[in-house]
Amino acid sequence: MQHDSASRDPRRVQRVVIVGGGTAGWMAAATLAKTLGRVVSIQLVESDEIGTVGVGEASVPHLRWFNTQLLGLDEADFVRQVKGTFKLGIQFRDWARRGDAYFHGFGQPGQGLGAVPFHHYWLKLHRDGRVPALDDYSLQSAAAMAGKFLNGAPHLPQNSPLHAIVYAYHFDAGLYARYLRGYSEKLGVRRTEGKIVDVSRRGEDGFVDAVVLQGGERIEGDFFIDCSGFRGLLIEETLHTGYVDWSHWLPCDRAIAVPTASSGPPTPYTRATARSAGWQWRIPLQHRTGNGHVFSSRFMSEDEATAELLRNLDGETLVAPRVLRFTTGMRRRFWNGNVLALGLASGFMEPLESTSIVLVQMGITRFVEMFPGDGVDPLSSDRYNALLTFEYERIRDFLILHYHATERDDSAFWNYCRTMPVPDSLQHIIDLFRRSGLFFRNGEELFALSSWVQVMLGQRIVPARHHAAVEQMPEAEIVAFVGNVREVIAACVQAMPSHQAFIDRYCKAA
């Protein structure tokens, strides 16, 4: 929508300018257009000269809600357009010890009884070696390892594990941005091609009032969303907001990315394999496989990291590997004045648990909840910053857990990670779980009990005891209960189609 500048209230936010495209920029544009498009005008400025990071992306289940519930996208069409596949979780190889493998599956392992989660019943039998790994009791983990996928069977009873299945996607980030661009432009978002060479600020409060393009065009706005990548054109270069550096806890600061030709049917999971100074990702799409080596430049050179990646690929490389350099951490403020930072401009969490896109989603949906229609209120921006800081810090702790809870001592990198002091908030979670098998979710943090428990057990943090309520049940009943859960999961997996067959039937890309 257009606003006559003569009739404008200078405090009201009626014109939003998004600086930068990519996944973050177009997710912001799509969300604002869908929820506020009749109230505000939305303009996105991007330059084709400036590339985006745009590697193959993996996501967490929250993206389903964003796509289908918030934006109203058709899932099959989305998966086709982004050449996507489905993701039931992440397989971790060689993390606690070389030769280990465990699964962080979406959804709940097993079925709890009353207030006691399933893993306590499993623990009682596991301690005596009477049950297999927890993976066998999670539908997502068991189906992923069998190469099976189904997006749910709502016609089945609600107590069937197949009734509603929790899953996410793998997709081409560049194609997702293009898809959202088409969606946004249909809803009235204006895209301007151009390179920003200057930023203009108001004298009275220092708020940004315009960006100036190379050709001299001045684009004015009441509020600006910075999606300019690591550079942080508005949030950092203009407003000098500051950055909190977490590289002492998360020492990986480089990634080498390279796509390869598909080497077989796509797996319905991401793979993360620990290497000598970091880890390697494998993300299968319909038309290729995304690969990358995330590592610490303190412990390995870029040439060594590239060679290690190329040695461990299962398909022919399609382009030359490229290097991404980053510092894990976050801005001191995500919302500063009339600027909101999203995506890489807001901070960076390495891709170990596929949190980059969900942080964009959280950032933009929270902003819509608090949208400053009548003008920027510091109370709102302070609350926004507190909420986003909480999310970043909880995800940070979850990522540190993967590195710190290891027995590996075969390289300087792993010796550093194993012995480094960690945040008190994480140490408390590890100590409590190790002693009692208990975990308590902190508010609405992204990762719930099932995620923390699967990773802690997978990283060989084995609790010293289980919940006292388990002893209420006679041992023979516990054996039968746990055994029945495994049988039900196995029968459900047996009934599911293969991942490739599901894609071929419902959402095969052209």
For every residue of 164-226, which 3-state class applies, written as one string?
CCCCEEEEEHHHHHHHHHHHHHHCCCEEEECCEEEEEECCCCCCEEEEEECCCCEEECCEEEE
Whether 87 sits among the annotated catalytic residues: the reply is yes
Tokens of 237: 């270069």
Catalytic, out of 83, 87, 124, 148: 87
Strands 347-348 and 339-341, sheet pairing: unpaired
Task: Cite the DSSP H helix spans in 339-468.
Answer: 356-369, 378-404, 412-419, 424-436, 449-458
Q: Assess contact for 82 and 171: CB atoms under 8 A.
A: yes
Nearest Cα to 241, choosing from 329, 332, 328, 326?
332
Q: What Å distances lie between residue 153 and 66, 399, 493, 495, CA to CA?
A: 21, 33, 13, 11
Eight-state DSSP code of residue 497: P
Helix (H) or strand (E) holding 301: none
Taking the CA atoms of the chain, what radius of gyration do you get in angstroms?
24
- Quickly list DSSP for 264-295: SSPPSSEEEEEETTEEEEEEE-SS-EEEEEEE
- Quickly list DSSP for 15-44: EEEEE--HHHHHHHHHHHHHHHTTTSEEEE
Strands 322-325 and 218-220, sheet pairing: unpaired
Cα dihedral 466/470/471/473 (nearest 10):
-160
- How many helices and strands in the chain, by DSSP H and E? 14, 22
Q: How many CB atoms lie within 10 A of CB 425?
A: 13
Q: How many CB atoms lie within 10 A of CB 97?
A: 14
Q: How many CB atoms lie within 10 A of CB 246?
A: 22
Residues in contact with 129: Cβ distance below 8 Å, sequence separation at least 6, in sequence order: none
Residue spans of beta strands (DSSP E) within 6-145: 15-19, 41-46, 56-58, 85-87, 89-93, 101-105
Residues in contact with 180: Cβ distance below 8 Å, sequence separation at least 6, in sequence order: 23, 26, 27, 29, 30
Taking the mean position of all CA atoms in its chain, how far away is CA 487? 32
Euclidean distance between CA atoms 420 and 414, whole angstroms: 10
Phi, psi for residue 217 in degrees, rounded to 5: -65, 135
Q: Which residues are catalytic?
A: 87
